[in-house]
Amino acid sequence: MDIDNIKCFENYELKRHTTFKIGGCAKKVWFPKTENEFVYLLTTLENPVILGGCSNVLISSKGVDGDVIITTDLRNYEINGTVITAECGVKAPFLSQEVQKHGLSGFEFMIGFPGTVGGIVHMNASAHSQAVSDTCIGAKVFDMNSKTVLNLNKEELEFNYRSSILDKKDYILLQAKFELKSDDKEKIRALMGRNTEFRKNKQPNLTLPNAGSTFKNPPNDSAGRLLELAGAKTLSYGGAKVWNGHANFVINTGNAVSKDISHIMNKMYNMVKEKYTIELEPEVKFIGIKDREEEELWNTMLKK
């Protein structure tokens, strides 16, 4: 395969893809169209950054020093009875709608997710008492260390709250397999509607650029509850502020840079730590170049 035939842009601004609408340039950004192209890039490039829907990431305003692969052109999927196979770039809400047409239940919770299959499997996304781990029965991944393709079963994926084996090992999802349950199409549609309505009332929509939940829920508690009681809804910094509808969401008011978000997250983290001695864990991941100030802000939150 010739790498020159794979779609690529140089000095490409990443904020056009992120739900935060924040992010500087990467030296090269690749858009593979097939699994073979994706595997070739993973085999050939040195330590590329892999992005999908860019919905739970904060990309540095200083950019990314290296190659970036964006998987959103990898959109093949197949519905075979109750079994669904989907490539990593398939958008979660689209898949939710497609399986509803076939009378399949289990993806209703994904209707409002801005992410892709790669992201939701990686973090074992969940909402409304449903989770990826309820239906995912296997995955094809690329091992960045051995440069080989592996097929993992459900147990080998080691799903946990907001995590999977892809978090712990240098594995990149190529495609995932799910087994759903047959149910009445209208019942499924109604549940999707309720989930959409709940999301509208409890979370900012993407006209207010955000990256979803900022911090993971600590055991047996809610990050949003702790942040609200700690007074985080009053916080703003530069072009960023905590959303007044829910204290666990940070929004870009229009001109925020990554340092603004980093500062406000650090303040949120410290408010809860000081009031409750609970150290929240960021759900948003920082990607790209950090200066010393940003490094210190994130080292505090990541307990480094």
Which residues are annotated as catalytic? 162, 213, 283
The candidate with the shortest Cα–Cα distance to 240, out of 263, 256, 228, 224, is: 256
β-pairing verdict for 148-153 and 136-143? antiparallel
Distance between CA atoms of residues 91 and 113, nearest Å: 8
- Polymer length in residues for the chain: 304
CB 47 within 8 A of CB 7: no
Could you identify the residue written with the tokens 């907001």? 162
Could you identify the residue written with the tokens 């200083």? 62
Could you identify the residue written with the tokens 């150290």? 279
Count the Cβ atoms, other than its own, within 10 Å of residue 283. Answer: 17
Q: What letters, b where the CB count within 10 A reaches 16 and e where it falls short, cover 27-43?
A: ebbbbbeebebbbbbbe
Q: What letters, b where the CB count within 10 A reaches 16 and e where it falls short, cover 156-193?
A: ebbbeebebbbeeeebbbbbbbbbbeeeeeeebeebbe
